[in-house]
């Protein structure tokens, strides 16, 4: 049996796993979530101890996939996806203090946690598209890391064309080059005159423009895609079990922007993993920290920081949490989202905010705190944090967490992706790993477009094989 997925806005048909994955955003503008949370027994979680990452991944992911993909095929794709990682543990834990651990999620091909989900998602989508004889046109928005991971995972694949919209001039050089140097004809890097929020709004507008969506058979690989979030839930199990779960609870501190990663932790908790606190860590673009403190979700102008991938105001996956926290009242979600688009804000009612606070805390780190944390942690422990991880590390140090509970800080990027900021903070310029050694000397391919829906749609439609084949 396949689990059904429902839209947070309640006005789109429920879909099975494969259709929800191909759909990306629901047709009513909402996000797909499982209609119920599958749970794993204490024994099943205990049984994960000492198992390879791919086996844990299979145990976590299979209940959400059901019979949508044959079990042997799913296993094969999971094994292939995690064989692309350079560390045998895939996501190793490093101890940096008493009961404090860093979960390194950056050992995949593009040095950021996005590879964990994207390497699997590309294989899952390819499989379903091939079975159905379909091709898709993926349009994604990136503040730096999703784009590189998507291009890497889908480059050269016959069934998908990938268009990545990045905010012009606002990603690091390494991030940009990871998107602009691949030569395969099915991948396209596009700089938009605007912010990440503008790029994400364009992507959502394309999904909500049904004529365009159907014309190009639009697909999404941002965390609007449920399969992305699902694959990210796995490493919460891997880390917690290594630290004593299910006998013992573990706290997680998560560098947050679009709320996909920390929502994956929430999903793991709903599946039965004993997670104590989930701490949302933001940089000065602190909409989520403010929301948890005040109950008001209010968009302000985005400020550029040394953790550019988290320079986000409209935090897409918060909608998924809101849906659960307000008792799955799709009408309430629709009201909040309409207020957000009309006035840039919405208020959480008391019960919803209390539900959120049962699982989540939040904190912010400013630029001085990020820099100080990188320098001090390096001096005191020898460990070199990237800027995004440093946001979470700084928040973890100041959070009101039980010292007897292990705290895991998610390390979402390799420091070599942000060499200037890391060097300024620590005096150490981290080198790129060998497989990316020639990245900075390769020729780039990048188009630039205005922040204009019609212009971007025309660009995509002209280049997508789905539309070119139809026209031929
Ligand atoms: C390096 C890095 N850290 C943290 C985040 C924030 O993750 P999320 O958007 O899932 O909250 C991002 C972007 O997603 C990122 O690229
Ligand atoms: N920080 C992300 C922003 C997009 O997030 P996603 O998880 O929704 O894909 C990035 O690096 O692009």
- For the cut 70, the answer to whether the pLDDT of residue 221 exceeds it is yes
Please identify, by atom number, the ligand 2 atom nearest to the C-alpha of residue 114.
7
Ligand 1 centre from 131 Cα, in Å? 32
Ligand 1 centre from 441 Cα, in Å? 27
Catalytic residues: 114
Task: Give ligand 1 pocket residues (Cβ under 6 A).
Answer: 112, 143-145, 223, 255-261, 309-310, 388, 412-413
In degrees rounded to 5, what are phi and psi of residue 52?
-60, 155
- For the cut 80, the answer to whether the pLDDT of residue 472 exceeds it is no
Residue 238: the pLDDT is: 98
Quote the Cα angle for 244-250-251, to 5°: 160
Q: How far apart are CA 310 and CA 302, in angstroms?
A: 10
- For the cut 80, the answer to whether the pLDDT of residue 211 exceeds it is yes
- Please report which ligand is nearest the Cα atom of 196: 2
* Predicted confidence band of residue 372 (pLDDT cuts 50, 70, 90): very high
Q: Whose CA is nearest to atom 12 of ligand 2?
A: 142
- Asked, as a colleague might, if the bond just before 246 is cis with ω within 30 of 0, I would say yes
Residue 322: the pLDDT is: 98
Which helix or strand (DSSP H or E) is residue 124 part of? helix 114-132
- Inside any domain, residue 394: yes
Residue 467: the pLDDT is: 85
| Strand-strand pairing, 275-282 and 360-364 | parallel
In degrees rounded to 5, what are phi and psi of residue 178?
-65, -25
- Inside any domain, residue 303: yes
Answer yes or no: are the C-beta atoms of 253 and 279 closer than 8 Å: yes
- Inside any domain, residue 209: no
Note the ipTM here.
Answer: 0.99
Ligand 1 centre from 261 Cα, in Å? 7
Task: Give ligand 2 pocket residues (Cβ under 6 A).
Answer: 142-147, 222-223, 257-258, 260, 309, 316
- Counted residue by residue, the chain has a size of 472
Domain that holds residue 270: 93-111+227-426
Lowest mean pLDDT among 122-136, 239-253, 401-415, 456-470: 456-470
Ligand 1 centre from 104 Cα, in Å? 13
User: In this prediction, what percent of the chain has a pLDDT beyond 70?
Assistant: 100
Ligand 1 centre from 40 Cα, in Å? 27
- Inside any domain, residue 374: yes
Ligand 2 centre from 123 Cα, in Å? 19
Residue 1: the pLDDT is: 62
Please identify, by atom number, the ligand 1 atom nearest to the C-alpha of residue 388.
3
Mean pLDDT in residue range 276-299: 98
Residue 74: the pLDDT is: 98
> Measured on CA atoms in the order 286, 292, 100, 148, is the torsion positive or negative?
negative
- Please report which ligand is nearest the Cα atom of 228: 2
Which tens digits make up the pLDDT trace of 36-87? 999 999 999 999 999 999 999 999 999 999 999 999 999 999 999 999 999 9
Please identify, by atom number, the ligand 2 atom nearest to the C-alpha of residue 112.
11
Mean pLDDT in residue range 307-335: 97
Which tens digits make up the pLDDT trace of 185-200? 999 999 999 999 999 9
* Predicted confidence band of residue 2 (pLDDT cuts 50, 70, 90): confident
Mean pLDDT in residue range 142-165: 98
For a mutational test of ligand 2's pocket, the pick from 257, 302, 305, 389, i.e. the residue with the most ligand atoms closer than 8 A to its C-beta, is 257
Domain total of the chain: 1
Please identify, by atom number, the ligand 2 atom nearest to the C-alpha of residue 260.
7
Question: What is the chain's mean pLDDT, rounded?
Answer: 97
- Please report which ligand is nearest the Cα atom of 151: 2
- Inside any domain, residue 317: yes
pTM of this prediction? 0.98
Q: How far apart are CA 319 and CA 301, in angstroms?
A: 20
- Please report which ligand is nearest the Cα atom of 261: 1
Q: Whose CA is nearest to atom 7 of ligand 2?
A: 223
Q: Whose CA is nearest to atom 1 of ligand 2?
A: 309
What's the CATH code of the domain at 353?
3.40.50.1100
Ligand 2 centre from 255 Cα, in Å? 12
* Predicted confidence band of residue 362 (pLDDT cuts 50, 70, 90): very high
Cα Dmax for the chain: 65
Answer yes or no: are the C-beta atoms of 172 and 144 closer than 8 Å: yes
Which tens digits make up the pLDDT trace of 402-426? 999 999 999 999 999 999 999 999 9
- Inside any domain, residue 86: no
User: In this prediction, what percent of the chain has a pLDDT beyond 90?
Assistant: 98
Q: What is the dihedral of CA 387, 389, 394, 400, to 10 degrees?
A: 160
Please identify, by atom number, the ligand 2 atom nearest to the C-alpha of residue 222.
9
């Amino acid at each position: 049996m396949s689990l059904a997925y429902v839209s947070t806005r309640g006005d789109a048909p429920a879909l099975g796993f494969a259709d929800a994955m191909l759909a990306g955003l629901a047709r009513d503008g909402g996000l797909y979530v499982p209609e119920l949370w599958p749970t794993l027994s204490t024994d099943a979680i205990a049984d994960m101890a000492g198992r390879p990452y791919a086996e844990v991944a299979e145990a976590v992911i299979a209940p959400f996939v059901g019979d949508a993909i044959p079990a042997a095929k799913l296993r094969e794709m999971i094994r292939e996806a995690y064989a692309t990682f350079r560390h045998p543990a895939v996501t190793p834990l490093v101890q940096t203090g008493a009961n404090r651990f860093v979960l390194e999620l950056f050992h995949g091909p593009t040095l950021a946690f996005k590879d964990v989900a994207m390497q699997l998602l590309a294989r899952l989508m390819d499989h379903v598209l091939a079975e159905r004889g379909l091709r898709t046109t993926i349009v994604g928005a990136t503040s730096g890391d999703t784009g590189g991971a998507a291009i890497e995972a889908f480059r050269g694949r016959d069934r998908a064309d990938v268009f990545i919209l990045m905010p012009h001039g606002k990603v690091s050089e390494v991030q940009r080059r990871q998107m602009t140097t691949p030569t395969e004809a099915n991948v396209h890097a596009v700089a938009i005159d605007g912010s990440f929020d503008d790029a994400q709004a364009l992507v959502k507008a394309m999904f909500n423009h049904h004529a365009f969506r159907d014309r190009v058979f639009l697909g999404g690989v941002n965390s609007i895609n449920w399969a992305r979030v699902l694959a990210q839930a796995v490493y919460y199990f891997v880390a917690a079990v290594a630290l004593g779960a299910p006998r013992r609870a573990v706290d997680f501190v998560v560098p947050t922007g679009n709320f996909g990663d920390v929502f994956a932790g929430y999903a793991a908790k709903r599946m039965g993993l004993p997670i104590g606190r989930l701490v949302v860590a933001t940089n000065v673009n602190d909409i989520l920290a403010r929301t948890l403190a005040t109950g008001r979700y209010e968009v302000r102008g985005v400020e550029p920081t040394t953790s550019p991938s988290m320079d986000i105001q409209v935090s897409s996956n918060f909608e998924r949490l809101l849906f659960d926290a307000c008792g799955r009242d799709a009408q309430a979600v629709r009201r909040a989202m309409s207020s957000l688009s009309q006035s840039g804000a919405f208020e959480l009612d008391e019960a919803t905010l209390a539900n959120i606070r049962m699982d989540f805390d939040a904190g912010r780190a400013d630029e001085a705190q990020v820099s100080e944390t990188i320098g001090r942690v390096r001096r005191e422990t020898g460990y070199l944090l990237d800027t995004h991880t440093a946001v979470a590390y700084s928040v973890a140090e100041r959070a009101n967490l039980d010292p007897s509970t292990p705290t895991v800080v998610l390390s979402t990027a390799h420091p070599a992706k942000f060499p200037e900021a890391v060097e300024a903070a620590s005096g150490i310029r981290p080198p790129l790993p060998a497989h990316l050694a020639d990245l900075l000397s390769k020729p780039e391919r990048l188009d630039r477009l205005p922040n204009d829906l019609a212009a971007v749609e025309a660009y995509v439609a002209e280049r997508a094989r789905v539309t070119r084949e139809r026209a031929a």
